[in-house]
Structure 1
Amino acid sequence: MRTRKSSRILVINEQLEVLLFQFSHVQGALAGKKYWATIGGGLKENESFQEAASRELYEETGILRKSVGSCIAKRDFQMQLPSAEIVFAEEQFFIVFVQQSEIDTSHWTLNEIKTICAYKWWNLKNLRQTKEQIFPEDLVDILLINTPHQL
């Protein structure tokens, strides 16, 4: 089984809300699945988790940061890709605080344009009360452990 390494970024605005993208798959093995997830994506060849996080942050939001700091959480699990391939996912999480709430989607890939249907800033109350699928499932815990004084 192939390992897919990826960086995930918890982008938090001045209102202490975290940015999530809503993914909606209309074809492939995940057709019909809809969920919210953090910013981020897979590492390119010879790229570190930190480098991938900075790149993904810019590509998906237009926010430019040379550094995203240290990894604040990790998770490893099996997942199915839209192609139906099952991979071992190795994820590292980073936190980036921002002042703006608007994002620039002009650098999105064709795949992102096809699958991301919305973005939304979520506060802790909304995350706790939603019935919608959120990834990672323990996002509230990750936020509270790593930003207890800010949230």
Structure 2
Amino acid sequence: MRIERRKAARVVLLDPDDRILLMHGFEPDDPQNTWWFTPGGGLEGDETREAAALRELVEETGITDVELGPLLWRRMCSFPFDGRRWEQDEWYFLARTKQTATDTSGQTGLERRSVVGLRWWTSDELSVARETVYPTRLAELLRTLLDEGPPSAPLVLDPEIA
């Protein structure tokens, strides 16, 4: 299996009601294996993590009216997907928006083959979800973010290997 190493930028996007937008994805060859995750993806060329976060957000969700906030968390993860093993250095940025309507027409071919939808989640809904969510501590991290605000320095999350 080919290994793809990449730097990634992800977005913890909150609406005016403090709901978080998550994408519902699946392995293209195994649509029964699903999970929820934050919008975002790999950097292109010499783009910054912030630029990648905003570009990916537009491509994946159609949301353009965004105020990008601070870097919240960093995480190393490794997982199989679409016939490759991905090793990612992910940075999670806080962002706020008033725009809750989404448009997935800008998604890539792979995203169209592996994303079944988007959903706004409340913190309470996320805390009782029985579905797989990445990062795995997202419910706890979101609750802390809403209760205490962004950390003074980015938190380094435990690595996740699938």
Percent of residue pairs bearing the same amino acid type: 27
Q: Can you give the 5+ residue segments of structure 1 that lack an aligned partner in the other structure?
A: none
The alignment's TM-score, normalised by the length of structure 1, stands at 0.86
The alignment's TM-score, normalised by the length of structure 2, stands at 0.80
Q: 1:81 to 1:104 in 2, by over 3 A?
A: same
- The 5-angstrom pairing of residues 26-105 of structure 1 reads 26-27=28-29, 32-64=32-64, 68-83=68-83, 85-105=84-104
Q: CA deviation at 1:67?
A: 6.2
Q: Can you give the 5+ residue segments of structure 2 that lack an aligned partner in the other structure?
A: 150-162
**How many residues are paired up?**
147
Q: CA deviation at 1:125?
A: 1.0
**Greater strand content:** 2
Aligned partner of 1:16 among 4, 13, 18: 18
- The 5-angstrom pairing of residues 99-118 of structure 1 reads 99-118=98-117
Q: 1:25 to 1:80 in 2, by over 3 A?
A: closer
Paired AA for residue 101 in structure 2: E
Q: Conserved in 1, the CA contact under 8 Å of 2:127 and 2:140?
A: no
CA distance in structure 2 between the partners assigned to 1:100 and 1:31 by the alignment: 29
User: RMSD value over aligned CA atoms?
Assistant: 2.0
